[in-house]
Amino acid sequence: MLKSNQIYYTELNNKSLFEEKKIILINNCNDKILEIVQDSIDVIEDNKVFIFSNILEKKSKIRNYFEKQKYLDIVPCYKDNEIDIKRTISNELRNFKGFNQEIVNLISENTINDRIKLTNEIEKIKNYFNNISLNINDLNKLLNLREDEDFNNIKDFALAGNVKKTNSLLDICFMEDEKSIFYLALLNTRLFKLKEISLKKNKNLETALNEIKPPIFWKDKPMFITQAKAWSEDKIIKALKKTYDTETMIKSSYNVKKKTLLKKLLIDICNLANAA
């Protein structure tokens, strides 16, 4: 838009053959587009323009402009965290027979703090379990978690620094290209949990583990303890940098070999877990 605002003005001025009003979305905006926004106010007419940006500080010019104008709206948006997701699951499913914390943890793990995915999964669950009790086995099948079991296993062994298991699973692990960002989210979720533990330096591991909110799923505790012993805060920061760099490379090109990048990342993380 900064390179050529003509496309924006063309969209505003051209009438649609199918709809009276247009909805225009502009992403990754900052103060540099303020002048363009101001100049286009009079030609927007009945159209709607939605502008999305990253964090805007209080001194941001475009933020101040939108806050002061009566005919404009500005809305802060916050990413859901694990607590928000689990609260939503509880509110939506608490009246279903068989509902328990294990159900909540399973759904939360599958959605990775993704509100849209959570909404879809809850609708699927409500339809399937309309007249029957919730149970883990059927829920596993419904959420298609089995197809991700291979990656979860290799993720856990890599974070635990188990070189032999990691290498053997890399040869047989099935990973889908379209799920590459989901796999990275699984890695990041565990790394942030490990970071939370590493910050409780004045407490023993068991005590720190019991204080984590939301709590670690009981079946994951033995592996989590093994991983926690291998990771310091400095190493976790390095690992998060590696996952960020991998995500950037995956998103930067359609031709990139996603599975190759993911496998290299897992090897790097396994080596980092064993580093002094």
Angle, CA of 22, 27 and 28, to the nearest 5°: 160
Return the H-helix or E-strand segment holding 41: helix 34-44
Asked whether the beta carbons of 266 and 154 are under 8 A apart, the reply is yes
The string of pLDDT tens digits covering residues 242-263 is: 999 999 999 887 788 998 999 9
Range of the domain at 186: 147-274
Domain assignment present for residue 114? The answer is: yes
Backbone angles phi, psi at 144, to 5 degrees: 60, 35
Shared domain for 98 and 139, answered yes or no, is yes
Shared domain for 39 and 129, answered yes or no, is no
Q: Count the neighbouring beta carbons within 10 Å of the beta carbon of residue 158.
A: 27
Shared domain for 155 and 129, answered yes or no, is no
pTM of the model: 0.51
The string of pLDDT tens digits covering residues 77-109 is: 887 888 999 999 999 999 999 999 999 998 998
Shared domain for 112 and 184, answered yes or no, is no
Return the H-helix or E-strand segment holding 152: helix 149-159
Say how many domains are in the chain. Answer: 3
